[in-house]
Amino acid sequence: MRRLAVVVIALGALFVAGCGSTTPLDFKGKTRPSATVDVSVYVSNQRVLVSPAALGAGLVTLNVTNQASKSLTIDVAAKGANCTSPGSGPMAPDTTAQVTLELAAGGYTVGPCTPDGSPGADAIKAAALKVGAPRKDGEDALLQP
């Protein structure tokens, strides 16, 4: 019994010692990033709607709902470019998905892509998303993650 107690104490000491770090954390001069903006994306058989349609650059979470009658993937493409950002993945009708991206300033197209990678598929009209200057940092924002 005494040996078991010694082994348990020794293992506990090793565990606690392994939790520490010899390198001090240095956050001096670094600010908290801006909060993620949630964008609602509604997909019907005719078109894609986004709200808000304009926002500042930074992290964006697309909350996608597929109300179309067929499965599809929603992608984000810079204006004049092919769909290269990770999309929602195949979404069955009446399902939802979330996609988090970091978007730089510029114009984007949100919608299903054709097999060759160009925005806009079939009869579903893609939506325009305008991304402006980077948002203010979250340094003074209270109760933010």
Boundaries of every domain in the chain? 37-134
- For residues 128 and 52, what is the distance between their CA atoms, to the nearest angstrom? 10
User: pTM value?
Assistant: 0.72
* The predicted structure's pLDDT at residue 50: 97
How far apart, in whole angstroms, are the C-alpha atoms of residue 121 and residue 13?
Answer: 60
> What pLDDT score was predicted for residue 108?
92
Instruction: Give the model's pLDDT for residue 10.
Output: 61
CB 37 within 8 A of CB 135: yes
**Residue 145 pLDDT:** 57
Helix (H, G, I), strand (E, B) or coil at 128: strand
Class of domain 37-134 as given by CATH: mainly beta
The whole-number pLDDT of residue 93 equals 94
pLDDT tens, residue order, the chain (145 aa): 676 666 657 656 655 555 555 566 666 777 777 788 999 999 999 999 999 999 999 999 999 999 999 988 888 988 878 776 667 788 999 999 999 999 999 999 998 876 666 665 567 898 999 999 998 877 766 666 5
As a whole number of angstroms, the distance between CA 67 and CA 34 comes to 31
Ordered DSSP codes for 23-63: SPP--TT--PPPPPEEEEEEE-SSBEEEESSEEEEEEEEEE
Which tokens is 145 given? 């993650």
Q: Identify the pLDDT of residue 117.
A: 60
Q: What is the pLDDT of residue 121?
A: 56
HSE-CB of 95 using CA atoms within 13 angstroms: 13
Distance CA 81, CA 123 (A): 20
